[in-house]
Chain A
């Protein structure tokens, strides 16, 4: 008897979970159409592209290193800091607060970029 109650609760929880997952996906799709929640910065030829990127709060920015030399993504104000990224490696950071976030490559400090969060 206890077992079937437990199973029932489990199924119920699982049901909610699936429902929630479905809702989440719908929300994501809807919001993706209205505003991007993810953005990408490509690292190549010793530069960040785009060097200046404007996103809305909550956006996750992913840097991907397409260069044949390793680079890093380090916030000038110490908000975020990646490990060294070899070719094709990625680093992501979610910007929850509005503001301007300058960053650079700590190996090649002439490489600079900026994320503007609105």
Chain B
């Protein structure tokens, strides 16, 4: 690590020392998105950066999809001056997968400033992806200035309330939640009473053996509340899922991959296709991390999920763009 630290300062182009912008870390958190494969009800997630290490057998299941997150289209600061380019690289990675995913999940912060042209650019780039179906949930950057009105008009036609919805694919029940609206001073992400009531009702009649995949922008587990990386009322949402044997929670927002298992629930966060953020508490603030251009793609990624009916596993794996 000593040698690496030296490199870190060498690559500090702005000469701003090892503050959060110049802060470079080992690439342990690498991965821009995930290939998710559901095998027998359990989701396995493979980072797209390391997808070559995954055997074809491991990538096969009843259902597979790719999670991408935090495209931040419109961001143009030194941490990544070409977010369109890195999103395109993610699409190429998706199209190169040996096991073709059925659809894409985008876990929010599609745009950087909620501008129509930023959403347009992302939609245009994703049109080149082999999977034609894309499911979105909003990030806080997608609902700026209008409380999410534009987002609802674009993506939420079939959704309830502020944009939450559910759908079924090959026996797996997917629930898209919105936790980026009505944020309170000093607080974390919020689902709110109305959405929680809807969710309770949504899962009430499902069999306990139904694999559940919940996706939302801000983590539904307490990753690092000091930086707002958590959701106030997520415990209530998770309580409704206690009866299910396999629950997977997919989030974005923190621009790095993390996994955690708690009882029947597996939590995953996907990396950003735009820029990395520091590990919890490892910098003054959660701002964009500047990494050398040649390393950037190794810290950005997509998540891929694959599901095999009849057995019992759901796997999420993250891969970086490099």
Question: Which stretch, A57-65, A92-100, A105-113, touches the partner chain B?
Answer: A105-113
Proximity string of chain B (256-298) to chain A, C-beta cutoff 8 Å, 1 when within and 0 when not: 0000000000000000000000000000111110000000000
Cα–Cα, bound, A19→B313 (Å): 81
Q: Which one of A46, A69, A84, A110 contacts B114 once the chains associate, using CB atoms below 8 Å?
A: A84
Within 8 A of B (CB), among A38-76: 45-47, 67-70, 72, 74, 76
On B, residues with C-beta under 8 Å from A are 19-21, 77-79, 112-114, 140-141, 144-145, 183-188, 226-228, 284-288
Closest to A102 in B: B185
A–B pairs, 15, beta carbons within 8 Å: A46-B286, A68-B21, A68-B78, A69-B288, A70-B144, A83-B145, A84-B144, A84-B145, A102-B185, A104-B185, A106-B183, A107-B140, A107-B183, A108-B228, A109-B184
Interface size on A, residues (CB 8 A): 23
B20 A45 Cβ-Cβ under 8 A: yes
List the A residue with the shortest CB-CB distance to B112.
A70
Interchain CB contact under 8 A, A110 and B113: no
Pair A109/B113 contact, Cβ less than 8 Å: no
In the assembled complex, the CB of B123 is this many whole angstroms from the nearest CB of chain A, namely: 21
Distance A87 CA – B75 CA, assembled complex (angstroms) = 10
- On chain B, the residues within 8 Å of A110 by CB distance are 186-188, 226-228
The B contact surface, by secondary structure, is: loop
Known: A70-B113, A87-B77. Contact between A46 and B226, CB under 8 A?
no
Q: From A47, which residue of chain B is reached at the shortest CB distance?
A: B285
Q: Tell me the complex Cα distance, A109–B231, Å.
A: 12
Contacts of B19 in A (CB 8 A): 45
Contact A46:B285 (CB < 8 A) given known A68-B79, A70-B141, A107-B140: yes
Closest to B180 in A: A107
Q: Which residues of B contact A37 (CB under 8 A)?
A: none
- CB contact under 8 A between A104 and B186, given known A68-B77, A70-B112, A86-B113: yes
Q: Which of A46, A76, A109 has the most CB of B within 10 A?
A: A109
A45–B185 contact, CB under 8 A?
A: no
B residues within 8 A CB of A74?
185
What residues of A have a CB within 8 angstroms of the CB of B285 in the complex? 45-47
Residue of B nearest to A108 (CB): B228
Residue of chain B at shortest CB distance from A67: B287
A45 contacts B113, C-beta separation under 8 Å: no
Residue of A nearest to B186 (CB): A112
B77: which A residues are within 8 A, CB to CB? 68, 87
Given A46-B285, A84-B114, A87-B77, output 11 extra A-B contacts at Cβ < 8 Å: A45-B284, A45-B287, A68-B79, A70-B112, A70-B141, A84-B145, A106-B183, A107-B183, A108-B140, A109-B188, A110-B226
- Closest B residue to A70 by CB, please name it: B113
A109 close to B79 (CB less than 8 A): no
Question: Do the beta carbons of B187 and A109 come within 8 Å of each other?
Answer: yes
Question: Which residues on A sit within 8 Å (CB–CB) of B226?
Answer: 110
Quick one: closest A residue to B78, CB to CB? A68
